[in-house]
Structure 1
Amino acid sequence: MTLHIPFDNSFARLPGDFFSVQAPTPVSNPELIAFNAPLAETLGLSPTDRDELARVFAGNLLPDGAEPLAQLYAGHQFGHFNPQLGDGRAVLLGETIGTDGVRRDIQLKGAGPTPYSRNGDGRAWLGPVLREYIVSEAMHALGIPTTRALAAVSTGDPVYRERALPGAVLTRVAQSHLRVGTFQIFAARGQTENLRQLTEYAIGRHYPDCDGPLGLLRAVRDAQARLVAQWMSIGFIHGVMNTDNCAISGETIDYGPCAFVDSYHPQTVYSSIDQFGRYAFGQQPEIVVWNMAQLATALIQQLDDPEAAVEEATEIVHAMPDLIRSHWLTMYRAKIGLTSERPEDADLIGDLLRLMATDKADFTNTFRGLADGTARDWLLDRDAFDAWSLRWQARLDGEPDPQSRMRAANPAFIPRNHRIEEAIAAALEADFAPFDRLNAVLARPYDDQPAHHALAAPPTEDQVVRATFCGT
């Protein structure tokens, strides 16, 4: 075997209660769809041939030093507590410390059944694998903390959902796969020693400067506050912000029925399983605070006197909305070209968003258009926009180089829902050119790229994606 992965597996050294040892299940005919060579270099992986890459990242060939396992966790799903979830279709191969000094997990998603599969087949079909590859790498290019995609492999085996579909495996890379739900399961079981060990491990791995369980809570709160504000600044909707999909590292994780807003409205929902809008675009700041409250409830269970910690934990969580708002204002000031801060900025930003919601304006192109003078074209009530623009231009007076600031804050390209669906549809016909083109363009989201202007356009009426699906 020529592929060398420099594994250093710290999670596998934790007690057996934290996971189940689980090898990936081989597939019949693995073929490499995509391989992220720059990420591989950062991870310290040595180059190898495509056939070997396909076998390794399908789970057919286990690299030296791998200690495959499925992680255990619980979670609140749409507000209802599930006392045991766990990796139902993912196998953690191990960890590497990259050339940048950062420890990361390497995980196969769609690698076959595990003890936590809950009667599922443990597999993934091609569509969700390509979606997560596209969106996670686009999020990275946009500067949003996220899990990464190292490889996508077709399996040669059918996966049965509503019909038979081609199977695939995604290799996902993350600073860890620890979730709010990882803490919840030990708290719910009253396993305080496991909870203490997990807390110490999470602090050592992610936040070595923080002090104890409440210090960890504060650090995760801060990371999540900034993350959700970043989502809101680019029009991203996670779709399933359950506590088992909320990463301690502050990375975006678990791209299921995710989507990007086309026509702006704060109550936009794409996820087919979010029937009541719990995870709508504008609800995300509230939901992440709720998730942090669940983390607080779990963390304090390990303390000698949990009741005494309730007040401090509550203060930590209750400070979160103001933190999110502060990050949100900073990011939206940049989106309209502002460097300085004035009290009236919130109203200026809010009034533009209300105009956009009323007119169903395209979120990405309207903000990008502020820098190049085309924003007005995306509004229906242009008189109202002109009135707003007079206030905005007056506010810009004296600001240094607002156009450059806006161009750096407002992408020209996002993973448009209809373009992702087109790439998946083509891949089902063995045509991966649209997938490759989309990835190449989205790797430079803030560049104009006039040759690919069509990928910046919103969907026509017959292209609109009205629902996205989890794909499990």
Structure 2
Amino acid sequence: MTAPLPFDNSYARLPERFYARIAPNRVSAPRLIKVNRALALDLGLDPDWLESPEGVDFLAGHAMPDGAEPIAQAYAGHQFGQFVPQLGDGRAMLVGEVIDRHGVRRDIQLKGSGPTPFSRRGDGRAALGPVLREYIVSEAMAALGIPTTRTLAAATTGETVVREAFLPGAVLARVASSHVRVGTFQYFAARKDAEAIRTLADHVIDRHYPEARDAALPARALLEGVVDRQADLIAAWLLVGFIHGVMNTDNMSIAGETIDYGPCAFLDVFDPSKVFSSIDQFGRYAYGAQPSIGLWNLTRFAETLLPLLDDDQDKAVAIAQESLTRFGPRFEAAFHAGLRRKAGLTTAEEGDVELVRALLDAMTENQADYTLVFRYLADAALGAAHDEPVRRLFVDPTVFDRWAVRWRERTGREAVTAEDRRILMRAANPAFIPRNHRIEAVIRAAMDRNDFKPFETLLQVLSRPFDDQPEHAAYADPPALTEQVLATFCGT
């Protein structure tokens, strides 16, 4: 199949123990759901070709275009704290890499494309619901300005997959800066393959951290670069109320992007202990636990790099430990700066973080919606006459009233007009997030009625999360009691 896909596949040029070469798994009746035309153009691809019959065959994993080198990447991982020495792409294939219009190398991967040598008795397929969920949430995260994998397209296969029921099959075409994970390094560390670790580190440095190449100790610079990006990323998650749901080491990207949207969800009522994932029965990956788990995962990454840090084990461990101490201050700086922005504080004073945390505590105690409290607080910046919308979100509105007195005393010490503060706060606090009940409604419409209009509408709303959209105002609302989503599920 000829196609305008200018592949340049660097990962497939690595030693063959890094992956397994695979052939396309043909499906019975591929049908396009949607092509992300703006992303296609950004990648230098022809969206019209992607929407053609040949393009749909490619997007469904049915046939490969010229230049594709489909591979399943090898990796290991800690899953809920338990190490599994071989995982790998069990239902995905990296078909190739392209250089986008900004000169950035990007992977194109098909998720749900069929069994691979790493499938571990699985069918290698994806159901329609998880494909739609990942499309919606990954594109919403991009619109929120959070580093993430992207979705190029989604297609149905015309086949049935068996999970808790018989479900329609689908394939997601995912784009990432790369799909190298902490678990990729763990795969080779478990095999004591120091040569492969060095090769992989060189590949990652060249691709993602070129500044590390000139450092006195490139492996240390790589570790610190990954630490910094993950600290910033997890802070960004918390600032929008995102819960990844399954922060295993095989789901942590070395590039610092959000990857693998399985049982992910967004907070409605603010609750640091909140868990949605049905498989996280002990709260390991709860909303408020994400920073500590991030550091735990990074410690596992540092362990894999010890042979590159120093020949002396004790010295290597000391270097790794010192590098890992960057995480806490880096995360706190990013998170606290974000909290100040959300509260409309343009300068830094001692006590600012305690002030905003007092609001968060009040939200937890009063079952207040995280997203709407901060969005309406922007209007309250205009004066107490505008407080009523945010007050109504609290079971006891007087709790907000008392907090607002402290907040106004603090903002009164800044030389910022009320309108300018409101503008800044609206730019930091989205009106629209991927509400869990909205995602479920989209999935049900597609599954039960073959109706993808709600999917298209939700994507459109979430593409402008910071803008007022009066015609879609209901999409900002938290769920009614009967609409609440209590659990989310992994697609495997």
**Shorter chain as normaliser: what TM range?**
over 0.9
CA shift, 1:453, in A, is 0.8
- Structure 1 residues 307, 40: CA separation in 2 closer, same or farther (over 3 Å shift)? same
2:278 partner SS: coil
Residues 228, 326 of structure 2: 8 Å contact kept: no
Match of 2:371 in 1: 364
Match of 1:327 in 2: 334
CA shift, 1:279, in A, is 0.2
Match of 1:423 in 2: 442
Residues 339, 399 of structure 1: 8 Å contact kept: no
CA shift, 1:399, in A, is 4.4
Match of 2:463 in 1: 443
1:52 partner SS: helix
Partners of 1:389 and 1:136 in 2: how far apart? 35
CA shift, 1:308, in A, is 1.1
1:283 partner SS: helix
The correspondence for 1:454, drawn from 453, 474, 478, is: 474
Partners of 2:298 and 2:479 in 1: how far apart? 36
Q: Deviations over 1:260-315 (max 9, x none)?
A: 00011000000000000000000001000001100000111344223212112101
Moved more, 315-324 or 212-221: 315-324
Match of 1:153 in 2: 155
Q: Deviations over 1:373-426 (max 9, x none)?
A: 322221122112111101111111224321111101100000000000000000
Which residue type is aligned with residue 446 of structure 1? Answer: F
Partners of 2:313 and 2:349 in 1: how far apart? 42
> Is residue 231 from structure 1 mapped to residue 237 from structure 2 by the alignment?
yes
Partners of 2:192 and 2:322 in 1: how far apart? 24
Moved more, 395-404 or 63-72: 395-404
Which residue type is aligned with residue 428 of structure 2? Answer: A
Q: Deviations over 1:238-266 (max 9, x none)?
A: 00000000000000000000000001100
Match of 2:397 in 1: 382
Match of 1:6 in 2: 6
Residues 24, 60 of structure 1: 8 Å contact kept: yes
Residues 106, 172 of structure 1: 8 Å contact kept: yes
Moved more, 2-11 or 341-350: 2-11
Equivalent residue runs for 1:56-75 within 5 Å: 56-75=58-77
- Structure 1 residues 2, 13: CA separation in 2 closer, same or farther (over 3 Å shift)? closer
Kindly tell me the number of residue pairs found equivalent between the two proteins.
472
Equivalent residue runs for 1:203-352 within 5 Å: 203-210=205-212, 211=215, 212-302=218-308, 303-352=310-359
Residues 3, 66 of structure 2: 8 Å contact kept: no
Residues 9, 96 of structure 1: 8 Å contact kept: yes
Partners of 1:131 and 1:425 in 2: how far apart? 11
Q: Which runs of 5+ in 1 are unaligned?
A: none
CA shift, 1:229, in A, is 0.2
Q: Deviations over 1:414-459 (max 9, x none)?
A: 0000000000000012100000000000000000101001111000
CA shift, 1:113, in A, is 0.2
TM-score, scaled relative to structure 1: 0.99
1:267 partner SS: coil
Moved more, 2-11 or 406-415: 2-11
Which residue type is aligned with residue 467 of structure 1? Answer: A
Runs of 4+ with >6 A deviation: none
Partners of 1:317 and 1:152 in 2: how far apart? 38
Q: Deviations over 1:127-152 (max 9, x none)?
A: 00000000000000000000000000
Moved more, 2-11 or 323-332: 2-11
Match of 2:429 in 1: 410
Which residue type is aligned with residue 271 of structure 1? Answer: S
Residues 442, 452 of structure 2: 8 Å contact kept: yes
Residues 203, 216 of structure 1: 8 Å contact kept: yes
CA shift, 1:16, in A, is 0.3
CA shift, 1:318, in A, is 2.3
- Structure 1 residues 399, 425: CA separation in 2 closer, same or farther (over 3 Å shift)? farther
Partners of 1:116 and 1:307 in 2: how far apart? 35
Residue identity over aligned pairs, in percent, reads 56
Residues 71, 94 of structure 2: 8 Å contact kept: yes
Partners of 2:42 and 2:313 in 1: how far apart? 42
The correspondence for 2:168, drawn from 166, 169, 177, is: 166
Which residue type is aligned with residue 155 of structure 1? Answer: T
Residues 307, 316 of structure 2: 8 Å contact kept: no
The correspondence for 1:120, drawn from 114, 119, 122, is: 122
Partners of 1:399 and 1:447 in 2: how far apart? 26
CA shift, 1:188, in A, is 1.2
Partners of 2:207 and 2:182 in 1: how far apart? 15
Match of 1:434 in 2: 454
Equivalent residue runs for 1:60-99 within 5 Å: 60-99=62-101
Partners of 2:320 and 2:360 in 1: how far apart? 34
Partners of 1:54 and 1:29 in 2: how far apart? 10
Which residue type is aligned with residue 432 of structure 1? Answer: F
Residues 256, 471 of structure 1: 8 Å contact kept: yes
C-alpha root-mean-square deviation of aligned residues, in Å?
1.0
Match of 1:22 in 2: 22
Partners of 1:343 and 1:296 in 2: how far apart? 34
CA shift, 1:24, in A, is 2.7
CA shift, 1:372, in A, is 1.9
Partners of 2:391 and 2:164 in 1: how far apart? 44
Equivalent residue runs for 1:171-186 within 5 Å: 171-186=173-188
Partners of 1:37 and 1:118 in 2: how far apart? 35
TM-score, scaled relative to structure 2: 0.95
Match of 2:383 in 1: none
Q: Deviations over 1:153-209 (max 9, x none)?
A: 000000011211000000000000000000011111100000000001000000000
Partners of 1:201 and 1:56 in 2: how far apart? 27
Match of 1:465 in 2: 485
Which residue type is aligned with residue 304 of structure 2? Answer: A
1:378 partner SS: coil
Moved more, 2-11 or 250-259: 2-11
Partners of 2:24 and 2:370 in 1: how far apart? 41
Partners of 2:326 and 2:204 in 1: how far apart? 22
Moved more, 138-147 or 373-382: 373-382
Partners of 1:229 and 1:154 in 2: how far apart? 35
Residues 2, 66 of structure 2: 8 Å contact kept: no
